[in-house]
Chains A and B, each alone.
Chain A
């Protein structure tokens, strides 16, 4: 039984994904599905020649990158400023609360917060900055993806904060800082030359992994994204859900493009192997 366990593991993890991707490849090449008409590359040509597909891929990568960088910066600042409170304050349990927010609720909360009749708009109206919802700057369904970026950052940065604070203690940073100070480092130097590099180096694999998750984020762009600028998961879902069956081969081709990007990132950065800071 014990020898068979790795085989069962492969059957449950690799086989479904590999089978799904193989079917997607066959479908996109006209070799499977209801529309199969023999080997053809026309669907791939259509996908690779489509500006909308490349725009979605680049947009998704950019959103993921911006969210990860912003979240890491916010989390690092929070840990630098509140490390003592995060470690010993009786209220520190509150720092874990955002971990209980699922993406669909985060998206709904973002809608309620940033919408043109949302909480921020109400505050703006109460302070006399705007006279009605129409005056409020559009923060959701906007072409610049401000709403998506803001909500994904709000959801990601508390998690990074919790993890960074665990690193702060596991890496014995207080001792390192004491050593730095005894060698003459100033407070600022301690922050930027000791704490930040050590924590960010530890956080890097998680940043990569989270970047991959955010690249394929679905719920938040579904609710807060614009119709003209779609993230890749939304584009794929829309292609799959259209009534026109001619879109299905393209949907599978875009899925394979997405898979190629995810695999490339995982292969290049290998987030699972960097736990101890060694790349």
Chain B
């Protein structure tokens, strides 16, 4: 058994966490054997499917660059950066982009850090199943309805319509997801490794610094990535608790749609979808490199 195989065995065993494991573990498993995997239909239909998946990304970019795109033309009449320059100058898109990035980064960092630590405590708790079930409640609730439930308290504490209020609201939404994500990471094996540090005279700090955090780095990066996406995409809760005064990128996109300005809406959408795609790609590369490093040992 190589090191990579050992690492895989440290992965979740118990069943209270997310009912799926989307850890972008791109290279797990061997290439399929022709006999064992049945019949594939070839590359061309698969490429056609991928083109369908890529269509919104290309279309929205094209629409944002279009000078005019009237019915029934299949392609824009011309391309220019006019909308980009205009939106950047007067539309406040740069501010919204920065605001969204800051919000998502703060929420992702705080919820990942606290969720990771909390999941460690919950995984060893005698009421683990109940606590994990509770984590599902806010996560399963529609964010916009959750925000309406919280609105009164945010108004009373003067948090409604402020950046701090939006950050807190998003954290309350993303943090339970982070706990659910990490609770299965704390397997008995990992806990035994921690116990071994204590047996050998190490302190709690040393256990975290020297063993738990290094071993958990891929899981932490994955958690950071997924929580960032959740906060980056958030619209319903932000619009209720922000009361229109915290114009993150999704709020701005909806505003442009409401103003019947498809070019600016497409521009905002492009800004909203391309950074996550870049992150997805970086995650892909990271997993590839990690896999290669493990395979080389």
Residues of A bordering B, CB below 8 Å:
2, 5-6, 8-10, 12-14, 16-17, 19-21, 23-24, 78, 80-89, 91-106, 108-109, 111-113, 117, 119, 121-123, 125-126, 132-133, 158-159, 162-163, 166, 169-170, 174-175, 177-178, 187, 190-191, 203-206, 208-209, 212-213, 215-219, 223, 233, 236-237, 240, 251, 255, 258-259, 262-263, 266, 270-276, 278
Bound CA span A113–B133, Å: 39
Instruction: Tell me whether B19 and A271 are in contact (CB under 8 A).
Output: yes
Check A103 against B233 for contact (C-beta < 8 Å).
Answer: yes
How far apart sit A10 and B16, CA to CA, in the bound complex (Å)? 17
Chain A hits for B32, CB < 8 A: 83-84, 87-88, 174
List CB contacts (< 8 Å) of B13-55 with chain A. Answer: 14-22, 24-26, 28-29, 31-33, 35-43, 45-47, 49-50, 53-54
Contacts A93-B281, A219-B236; A111 near B257 (Cβ below 8 A): yes
Q: Per-residue 0/1 for B63-87: is the Cβ within 8 Å of any A Cβ (1 yes, 0 no)?
A: 1000000011110000000000000
Whether B235 contacts A219 by the Cβ 8 Å rule is yes
Checking B35, B46, B121, B141 against A178 with a beta-carbon cut-off of 8 angstroms, the contacting residue is B35
Q: Name the distance in Å between B293's Cβ and chain A's nearest Cβ.
A: 20
Asked whether, in the complex, the Cβ of A89 is within 8 Å of the Cβ of B141, the reply is: no
Q: Is the CB of A158 within 8 A of B18?
A: no
Task: Determine if B19 and A13 form an interchain contact, defined as CB atoms under 8 angstroms apart.
Answer: no
A205 near B144 with CB under 8 A, answer no
A206-B20 contact in complex given A102-B233, A109-B56, C-beta closer than 8 Å: yes
Task: With A16-B149, A17-B141 given, name 8 new contacts (CB 8 A).
Answer: A9-B122, A13-B134, A91-B50, A163-B22, A166-B20, A187-B38, A272-B18, A272-B133
B272 and A105 contact, CB distance less than 8 A: yes
Cβ–Cβ contact A87 & B29, under 8 A: yes
CB of A216 within 8 A of CB of B121, answer no
- Contact yes or no, A20 B136, CB < 8 A: no
Beyond A85-B43, A219-B235, A237-B148, whether A174 also contacts B56 by CB under 8 A is: no
Binary interface encoding of chain B residues 236-263 relative to chain A, with 1 for a CB under 8 A from any of its CBs, else 0: 1000000000000010011001000010
Contact A122 B74 (CB under 8 A): yes
Chain B residues in 8 Å Cβ range of A23: 149, 152-153
Given known A-B contacts A6-B131, A88-B31, A266-B137, A83 and B37 have beta carbons under 8 A apart: yes
B132: CB under 8 A from chain A? yes
* Shortest distance from the beta carbon of A70 to any chain B beta carbon, whole Å: 16
Distance in angstroms between the alpha carbons of A117 and B20 in the assembled complex = 39
- Contact between A218 and B236, CB atoms less than 8 A apart: yes
> Which B residues are CB-close (under 8 A) to A24?
149
- Tell whether, in the assembled complex, residue B15 and residue A17 are in contact, meaning their CB atoms are under 8 Å apart: no
The docked-state distance in angstroms from the alpha carbon of A177 to that of B36 is 6
CB neighbours (8 Å) of A213 from chain B are 140, 142
Question: Does chain A have a CB within 8 A of B224?
Answer: no
B232 at the interface (CB under 8 A from A): yes
- Residue B91 at the chain A interface, CB threshold 8 Å: no
Which residues from A are CB-within-8-Å of B284? 93, 96
Contact present for B71 and A122 (CB under 8 Å): yes
Give residues of chain B (265-291) contacting chain A, Cβ–Cβ below 8 Å. Answer: 265-266, 269, 272-274, 276-277, 280-281, 284
Question: In the complex, A119→B74 CA distance in Å?
Answer: 7
Q: Would A105 and B47 be within 8 Å (CB), given that A233-B142, A236-B148 are in contact?
A: no
Q: How far apart sit A219 and B180, CA to CA, in the bound complex (Å)?
A: 24
Determine whether B59 belongs to the interface, using a CB cutoff of 8 Å to chain A. yes
Q: With A17-B138, A20-B153, A91-B47 as given contacts, are A274 and B39 in contact (CB-CB < 8 Å)?
A: no
In the complex, residue of chain A having the shortest beta-carbon distance to the beta carbon of B135: A13
Complex contacts, B150 vs chain A, CB 8 Å: 16, 20
Which chain B residues border A101 with CB–CB below 8 Å?
Answer: 56, 273
For A10, A98, A121, the residue with the greatest tally of chain B CB atoms inside 10 Å of its CB is A98
A102 touches B31 (CB 8 A): no
Most buried by A among B16, B19, B26, B35: B19
Smallest CB-CB separation from B71: which chain A residue? A117
List of B residues within 8 angstroms of A82 by Cβ: 40-41, 45-46, 49
Contact A6 B16 (CB under 8 A): no
CA distance A94 to B55 in the complex (A): 11
B225: min CB distance to chain A, Å: 11
* Candidates A21, A105, A122; contact of B73 at CB < 8 Å: A122
B118 lies within 8 A of chain A by Cβ:
yes
